[in-house]
Amino acid sequence: MIYPQEIQESPEIVDIQVIGNHALTSKDLLNQIHLKEKRLVSKGSFYNRHHLAREIAKLEDYYTLNGFLDAQISDSLIIGEDNVIVIILQVVEGKEYYLRDVTLSGNSVFSEQDYLEIIEFKAGSSFNTFKIRENLIEMLTLYQNNGYPLINIKDSVVVADSVSLYIKVKEGPRLNIGDINIQTVDQIKEHIIGRELIFSPGDVFNLANIEESKRRLYETSLFNSVNISLGQVNLDTMSIDIDVEVIAAKFRGFDMNMGVKQGYLEESKNADPVLSVGLSGSWYHNNLFDRSKRVRIETNISSIYPSIFVPQQFKLDFFYVEPWLEKIRVPLTINPFFWYIDNSQTEFTNLAYGLRAIMSYRWFRRIKIQSLAEWNQSTSVGEPGNPEELYQEARKIGAKLTWDQRDNFFYPHRGFKLVVEPQMVGYFLRGDNNYLQLLSSFSSYWNLFGDLVFAHNINVAVAAQQQAGEDGEIPRIKRFYLGGNSSIRGFDQQQLGPFDEDGPSGGKLRLFTNFELRFPVYEIFGATVFLDVGNLWPEIEDANISDLEMAVGMGLTIDTPIGPARIDYGIPLGAEHANKGGQIHIAIAYAF
């Protein structure tokens, strides 16, 4: 072992080992400190004994927050060749303390029972300062959302064989909002800022409305910084002023990208490789006429050598955004577009142009309603090399409702998410097709205990036509399909349901449900056990409960900054699948 005073230089930390810990995992402890080990694609931190001492003190405080008031951590070091170092943290956790009782004083707005429910008090439960203070912050927010911005809550403890918790509350007066002082900036008028605020003078103070107003101001794309703070308190009128300060963003911008690549076309694997040139660019203005209206132009051009000066693919989109309709915050996006593809390999051309209109309404981060209307004209010659080359003619209107009450968007433990999406194609809008579609899903989550989560999802999609036959048939690309990593695992993508000579033919009724148990395994690794049930029918009247297919399986998840990466292995059930092996699915994010 090496002692800190013997180290003269600053070696690189290649490994940090934690030993002696039982109640808290090594991963949890290492996540609390800023010292990092060397990884395959990143360097480790450089050793500094003063920094290490501070990090050890931080870990001891973390143990205290989790009920181990006597925890002590010591370090030892191993110096390797090439000036690298291994740090060993020896943990003596000591006794785990338990919460005996809670004494509350100063509260009048909320009862003692309200407090005990929020801090989840149970006599004899493990004393966790971190969780208690996290719950007390929830209590603070409850006060601030009900008119008490000056609320102050302090906690202290008396430690013997167990812990007695004392909570002292200074509620302060219930205040209304007084003056709203808006700091104006050049080219942004005061009413542009003021209309995004969902609080007014005379309203009862509500912190949630202030936070939502900040989010709305950021959504305008006009500001780099938004600060809404408490101002002067006037006890004569029982009010508090609100100060709004903003820093303007850049209103205009332009970007362009150019790339060259050589490869094989999807439909010409045995041909010579081709050289393609791509050019894309966009221009935007986020404060048109100094009225917060936004415009954006996007273009994408690509060509195959030797005809590099004759575009084989050209896409152009123009976006105009009106953020307010009259006095209602329902942003309207008008999007004329143009699309042209000329694939000389398959002698296919496609020309399409049209207009989209999108309106959206969002209340806080939980409820969003979006509507879409599109009219387009599409003409083509030949057969496309792949479905993405063909812009299907569709004249449609639709809507989408999303109600999201999950406690975490990436790793939900509680709550639900509801999505309903109706759509009408053709009819009085004219066009080649006339049909209706409705897609809906409902996902719910229950935290059983610890980090064990039971999740359930049900998905129903149904389509109806005015007429059948060649002119009235739903286009193949617009039908419903089933099977794959986010529906019925154990079956290949789109391989469950009706087929014809061209492959999966899709259907008009899709029904499936998923059941999952999700739980941690070790550090960043987790696992799932799932059951998927469902099927796809070509016509609604063909549906039969006896047709339902089932698949069971297990999965491995890896925590990443953008959600869990997962590998699932599903096995179809039933005698007809007895000779069929399981299917591996790889995806980002949970199946639902």
Sign of the CA dihedral with 117 first, then 123, 125, and 129 last: positive
**Would you state the pLDDT for residue 231?**
95
- What's this model's pTM, rounded to 2 decimal places? 0.75
**Would you state the pLDDT for residue 502?**
79
Residues of the chain with pLDDT under 50: 2-5, 264-271, 470-471
**Would you state the pLDDT for residue 298?**
95
Top-level CATH class of 99-170? alpha beta
49-65 helix and 129-144 helix, angle to the nearest 10 degrees: 70
**Would you state the pLDDT for residue 477?**
81
**Would you state the pLDDT for residue 311?**
62
Concatenated DSSP letters for 545-558? Answer: GGG-EEEEEEEEEE
**Would you state the pLDDT for residue 104?**
94
Residue ranges of domains in the chain: 4-92, 99-170, 176-248, 253-355
Alpha-carbon separation of residue 568 from 332, 487, 576, 583 (angstroms): 40, 12, 22, 8
Please identify which residue in the block is written with the tokens 């148990």: 517
Can you read off the two tokens belonging to residue 444? Answer: 């719910």
**Would you state the pLDDT for residue 387?**
63
**Would you state the pLDDT for residue 403?**
97
**Would you state the pLDDT for residue 126?**
85
226 touches 205 (CB < 8 A): no
Q: CA-to-CA distance for 482 and 551, rounded, in angstroms?
A: 13
**Would you state the pLDDT for residue 308?**
53
Question: For residue 540, how many C-alpha atoms fall within 13 Å in the half-sphere facing its CB?
Answer: 9
Same fold, 99-170 and 176-248: yes
Q: What is the pLDDT of residues 149-168, one digit of tens each?
A: 999 999 998 998 899 999 99
- Say which CATH architecture domain 4-92 belongs to: Roll (3.10)
**Would you state the pLDDT for residue 180?**
96
469-474 LR contacts (CB < 8 Å, sep 24+): 471/432, 472/433, 472/434, 472/435, 473/433, 474/433, 474/435, 474/506, 474/508
The neighbour count for residue 107, using CB atoms within 10 Å, is: 18
Which CATH topology does 176-248 take?
A: Ubiquitin-like (UB roll) (3.10.20)
158 touches 95 (CB < 8 A): no
